[in-house]
Amino acid sequence: MAPSNCHFGTAGAHLLDFEWSGYRHAFYDALFWHIIYPFPPVVIRNADIAYRHTLTNTIPEMSDDAVYEAELTYMCAHHAFSFVRWWLPAILEQDNETAPGVTSRQMLLYKLDRFAALTMQTGYLEGMGACAKSLADVFRSRFPEMEAWSYALIAMK
């Protein structure tokens, strides 16, 4: 659950946002810790282990490293470039707080960086990863004052 989609009160967290609910690819949930929200590497690794273990109960192919990495990379590509299409060109003119403490520009840059790194790690869709990196580099040069959104930045607040 994204913190921005929850209300935190004395009774705990309550999910408020169902805008993306529906039947989706099995890896849609894994996007959360890979490309939607900046978690520390140990959390990403542990979430992957648990998720993959659960998936292999119903999708035995997920026990194959190559299949798992390919599917994850494909879903991250879809997610990152969907946001490029969704937010550009509007965020070039005006940045907005997308979630508490993070702007649309910061979030898009994070998604592009994470996808580019994932393609290098997995060896899948490397051309798209290079495109994402180039786009992120142009974005950084256009908005040099923008602080990158990262786990380290969140942990400091």
Residue 28: the pLDDT is 85
Distance CA 134, CA 138 (A): 6
Distance CA 104, CA 43 (A): 24
Residue 153 in this model has a pLDDT that exceeds 90: no
Strands 12-15 and 97-99: what pairing?
unpaired
Q: What is the pLDDT of residues 7-63, one digit of tens each?
A: 778 887 776 666 667 778 888 888 989 999 888 889 999 999 999 999 899 999 999
Domain ranges of the chain: 24-156
pTM of the model: 0.82
Average pLDDT, stretch 65-81?
95
Distance CA 77, CA 20 (A): 17
Sequential DSSP letters for 63-116: GSHHHHHHHHHHHHHHHHHHHHHHHTTHHHH---EEETTEEHHHHHHHHHHHHH
